[in-house]
Structure 1
């Protein structure tokens, strides 16, 4: 089992557990590894302390990502700042899960369903789903209260009315 320290371009730090380096690289290439805070799949490994397993096989060379783009190095934060950041990230994930638990996912029919609720064509309830930025602006212009909100896929993803 490999435990990796990971980060996204927004600077969110998190841990990932993988069966092997090949497993990590495979999941990374298929964009299955996502930041639990913002959902970004452009994830990079950070330097971390190794765990020595003297009985393990020699490591194989890791395949290089096809579209690797250089990223600026992440600035090091103080231990206090890292602790506050981790607490905020944990609170965000917990809140995101609560939102997902208390809303109905209507998927790509978000704008249509939000209008139906607003105009009294269906029962009023909290919904989430996906819509374009243009459609969200149109909803707001119609007086339909929407909140563009990016939820990590692990929490349910989507926008919220």
Structure 2
């Protein structure tokens, strides 16, 4: 006889350089990989995640969150609390939330990565010789920021 799943809801706060580095799409992909439901959003001081699913899958999610974050992310702290499950049916990236008097560390500008350089110097690529080519792993951050959540 198969053992029943134990569903939990985890409320997670991730602090550090976790905005402008592809962190929310990373969380989305991870949640989808483990068939977890809930949401992720940027706030003025952290990235908040509310996620539910089988306890084993939540543990795997948290392990990957800590150990396989995007290359430019710098996680300083992850705090987790648990609540009774909600009625989430999918996982989504929500709009950023601005909180007065709270601030998020800004990521620095990063030199163009090898993948982008490959595009710039490939005559067959649509970005051939385009000087502003960048991706979530490289390019300007600090010098172009106009506002933060």
- Interval containing the TM-score (normalised by the shorter chain): 0.3 to 0.5
TM-score (norm 2): 0.35
Structure with the higher helix share, 1 or 2: 1
In our comparison, the structure showing a higher alpha carbon Rg is: 1
